[in-house]
Amino acid sequence: MELYCPQRTSQRIILHLDMDSFYASVEMQDRPEIRGKPVVIGADPKNGKGRGVVSTCSYEARAFGIRSAMPISQAYILCPQAIFLPPDISRYIQVSAEVIAILRSYGFVLQQVSIDEAFLDVSRLGSFTAARELSVTIKKTILARLGLSCSIGAGPGKVVAKIASDFNKPDGLTVVEPDDVKAFLAPLPVRKIPGIGKKSESELFELGIRTIGDLAAYDIQALVARFGQGAVCLHDIALGIDTSEVEERDGIKSLSRETTFDTDTSDPQVISVTMDTLAEDVHRSLVAENLRCKTLTVKVRYQGFVTKTKARTLSHFTDDGRIIKSCAHTLLLELTDGKKIRLLGFRLSSFDKGVTRQTTLPCDQTQNRFS
């Protein structure tokens, strides 16, 4: 996820909404018989031998220690009696659009940042009390119309709002008023700052920085010397300075799928059929999103984890499944030379702005990130 780099402007009230265990909740809403049970969305566990990953799981499954991006085989060990379901991305896109339509109906500037989260700039409400009331209304409306729960965070900036929405999940509502921002952030681990991943976290640990409070107290010059100018943004965020705007912008950047083979393979037939399935799946999402694309990328992870990608940009936008499939196979040919393959991925990007809707997808059926 991107780091929201602050610019200094006036005080605002920002809401961040994030749906709870989104894919799993949609499935539980659609199938009453699995409600209240541990539900895992992701690759086929194949009695513990499956090699893909967990997309997400219900909070009942989280009680067993299951988490997004965990190997599905590990999820199976933790809770073999869980209900394992494959992702139905088209259905989730549809529900996502319904959530966004509800949010839009309140008439505030809205920025959708993934399939299940969005920022709203509600500054014109004028008070955090009014923002809390609106948040309660939004939560009730989404629950009544879609049967789904969400968590909302409110704060004077996007980062605080996002951290706040995650603070008390599921079904949370956390309002952080300007005077409370520093105290709210200080005890939280630095990892809670959007954009800080494992690597940055361990680099900060090396400096003895574990909490956002530690980061706020650290000498800015020393941080810049170590991490470059990007550290200024980070330090500002830790100090609660964050005035980046909620931007209505084309959310969708790419659509992709990837799959891990049960066993590494160099069988051209297996690889080709898998490429077909991936291309068909991504094409279905493209059509569901009413988009046309220009850039196609194939990704191959070989045995031993070396990963390569090949991309092609077409001269015209297309939503033609045959063109997409044929291009996918041409790119695949450039990447296959008899070596065994562990994972195959396919991505569409460079969408036609004319028809682009406000949607961003976590890009994968088995993994969230195409990297």
Q: Is 148 exposed, middle or buried (0-12, 13-18, 19+ CB in 10 A)?
A: buried
Count how many Cα atoms sit within 13 Å of the Cα of residue 290 in the half-sphere of its side chain: 9
- Residue 60's binding partner among ligand TTP, Mg ion, none (Cβ under 5 to 8 angstroms by kind) is none
Q: How far is the CB of 364 from Mg ion (least distance, A)?
A: 15
Residue 254 found at the interface with ligand TTP (CB under 6 A):
no
Q: How far is the CB of 149 from ligand TTP (least distance, A)?
A: 9
CA 300, CA 63: separation in Å to the nearest integer?
Answer: 34
Total residues at the site for ligand TTP (CB under 6 A)?
Answer: 17
Q: Let me know the angle formed at the C-alpha of 347 by 341 and 349, rounded to the nearest 5 degrees.
A: 155
Q: What are phi and psi of 122, to 5 degrees?
A: -105, 25
End-to-end Cα distance, the chain:
12
Residue 361 found at the interface with Mg ion (CB under 5 A):
no
Which of 236, 244, 159 is CA-nearest to residue 193?
159
Residue 116 found at the interface with Mg ion (CB under 5 A):
yes
Which residues have a catalytic role annotated? 117
Q: How far is the CB of 29 from ligand TTP (least distance, A)?
A: 13
Which of 282, 286, 308 is CA-nearest to residue 365?
282
Q: Element (H or E) spanning 198, and its range?
A: helix 198-206
> Is the CB of 19 or the CB of 296 nearer to ligand TTP?
19
> Is the CB of 170 or the CB of 230 nearer to ligand TTP?
170
> Is the CB of 152 or the CB of 237 nearer to ligand TTP?
152
Q: What is the DSSP string of 97-163?
A: HHHHHHHHTT--EEEEEETTEEEEE-GGG-SHHHHHHHHHHHHHHHHHHHS--EEEEEESSHHHHHH
Give Rg (Cα) of the chain: 22
- Residue 170's binding partner among Mg ion, ligand TTP, none (Cβ under 5 to 8 angstroms by kind) is ligand TTP
Residue 169 found at the interface with ligand TTP (CB under 6 A):
yes
Among 4, 22, 128, 370, binds ligand TTP (CB under 6 A): 22
Q: How far is the CB of 255 from ligand TTP (least distance, A)?
A: 13
Q: How far is CA 218 from CA 108, 179, 204, in A?
A: 37, 21, 10
> Is the CB of 2 or the CB of 337 nearer to Mg ion?
2
Residue 242 found at the interface with ligand TTP (CB under 6 A):
no
> Is the CB of 159 or the CB of 331 nearer to ligand TTP?
159
Q: Is 298 exposed, middle or buried (0-12, 13-18, 19+ CB in 10 A)?
A: buried
Q: How far is the CB of 171 from ligand TTP (least distance, A)?
A: 9
How many other C-beta atoms are found inside a 10 Å radius of the C-beta of residue 152? Answer: 26
Q: How far is the CB of 192 from ligand TTP (least distance, A)?
A: 13
**Taking the alpha carbons of 23, 86, 114, 78 in that order, is the dihedral positive or negative?**
positive
Residue 214 found at the interface with Mg ion (CB under 5 A):
no
Among 14, 21, 258, 327, binds ligand TTP (CB under 6 A): 21
Task: For residue 209, give both structure tokens.
Answer: 């920085």
> Is the CB of 162 or the CB of 342 nearer to Mg ion?
162
* Interface characters, 79-118, with ligand TTP (x: CB under 6 A): ------------------------------------xx--
> Is the CB of 170 or the CB of 178 nearer to ligand TTP?
170
Among 13, 16, 18, 184, binds ligand TTP (CB under 6 A): 18
CA 244, CA 201: separation in Å to the nearest integer?
Answer: 23
Report the interface residues with ligand TTP, using CB under 6 A. 18-23, 55-56, 68-69, 115-116, 169-170, 362, 364, 368
Report the interface residues with Mg ion, using CB under 5 A. 18-19, 22, 116
